[in-house]
């Protein structure tokens, strides 16, 4: 079964609401695995952006997308219910909604996005506000 953007975003938003309300307990045993998948996803995006053949050669690009998809599936399906898990799921969901700020969103670059905050679309502002709240910022 393929995970749709709608399911990913709905799951991330629901987890965020529960985590922010303190309903979900943290699951520290899964935190290292979740962070490893997040870093693998970030690396794959960075390598995709640096590879001059990634856009022109579908086979080259697909190797990166396979890695990104695997990391995103692991993030989505992780049993971790911490606020960090909710934050990472929001980053992934946002990356499926936005193409304008793809690099900053794919890397979870809060500093770059804070500079662009006034230019964000409404749904981006909501997602970014939730991320900042989970981080205890904003």
Give the number of other CB atoms < 10 A from CB of residue 76: 19
Question: 22 lies in a domain?
Answer: no
> Which of 42, 30, 127, 126 lies closest to 82 in space, CA to CA?
30
Q: H or E stretch including 88?
A: helix 83-95
Confidence (pLDDT) at 100:
82
Question: 61 lies in a domain?
Answer: yes
Question: 21 lies in a domain?
Answer: no
Question: 78 lies in a domain?
Answer: yes
pLDDT surpasses 60 at 119: yes
Rounded CA separation 106/92 (Å)? 7
When pLDDT is cut at 50, 70 and 90, the band that residue 18 belongs to is very low
Confidence (pLDDT) at 22:
54
Rounded CA separation 123/93 (Å)? 11
Instruction: Look at the chain and report how many structural domains it folds into.
Output: 1
pLDDT surpasses 70 at 87: yes
Rounded CA separation 76/92 (Å)? 9
- Find out whether 31 and 22 touch, Cβ atoms under 8 Å: no
Question: 63 lies in a domain?
Answer: yes
Question: 122 lies in a domain?
Answer: yes
Q: Domain range for residue 100?
A: 5-16+30-134
Identify which of 10-19, 25-34, 93-102 has the greatest average pLDDT.
Answer: 93-102
Confidence (pLDDT) at 101:
87
Question: 24 lies in a domain?
Answer: no
Question: 25 lies in a domain?
Answer: no
Identify which of 17-26, 94-103, 115-124 has the greatest average pLDDT.
Answer: 115-124
């Amino acid at each position: 079964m393929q995970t749709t953007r709608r399911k990913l975003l709905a799951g991330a938003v629901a987890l965020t609401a529960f985590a922010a309300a303190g309903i979900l307990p943290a699951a520290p045993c899964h935190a290292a695995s979740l962070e490893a998948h997040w870093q693998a996803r970030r690396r794959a995006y960075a390598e995709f952006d640096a590879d001059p053949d990634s856009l022109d050669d579908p086979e080259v690009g697909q190797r990166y997308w396979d890695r990104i998809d695997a990391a995103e599936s692991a993030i989505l399906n992780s049993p971790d219910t911490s606020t960090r898990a909710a934050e990472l799921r929001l980053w992934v969901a946002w990356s499926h909604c936005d193409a304008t700020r793809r690099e900053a969103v794919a890397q979870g670059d809060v500093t770059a996005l804070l500079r662009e905050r006034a230019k964000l679309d409404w749904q981006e502002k909501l997602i970014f506000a939730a991320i900042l709240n989970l981080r205890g910022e904003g």
